[in-house]
């Protein structure tokens, strides 16, 4: 719950501070790329520690978590953009 709240707050601040609308599709693609990279890294660590099963569980789990956090971050940027327009008028 802490990471989700932190991702939302960081997205909110990012959307508010960065002028103009953010390119949410680009943010999502970057998040997927980072999710794949982190999934492979932690999966390989799991492979060396616990074998093939731990590799698969770690890689898939980390990927899903990162993509979920990116979606929450993007929701925060959307609300941050709305606040930017409303407050800076």
* C-alpha span between 82 and 85 (Å, rounded): 5
pLDDT of residue 61: 82
Distance in Å from the first CA to the final CA of the chain: 34
pTM, rounded to two decimals: 0.80
For 11-44, how does the pLDDT look when each residue is reduced to its tens digit (9 = 90+)? 899 888 888 777 888 888 888 888 888 888 888 8
User: Mean pLDDT highest for which of 3-12, 22-31, 55-64?
Assistant: 3-12
* C-alpha span between 49 and 12 (Å, rounded): 38
pLDDT interval class at 1 (50, 70, 90): confident
């Amino acid at each position: 719950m802490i990471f989700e709240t932190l991702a939302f707050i960081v997205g909110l601040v990012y959307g508010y501070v960065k002028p103009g609308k953010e390119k949410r599709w680009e943010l999502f693609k970057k998040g997927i790329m980072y999710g794949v990279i982190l999934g492979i890294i932690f999966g390989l660590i799991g492979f060396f520690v616990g074998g093939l099963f731990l590799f698969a569980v770690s890689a898939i789990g980390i990927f899903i978590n990162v993509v979920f956090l990116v979606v929450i971050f993007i929701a925060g940027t959307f609300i941050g953009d709305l606040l930017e327009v409303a407050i800076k008028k």
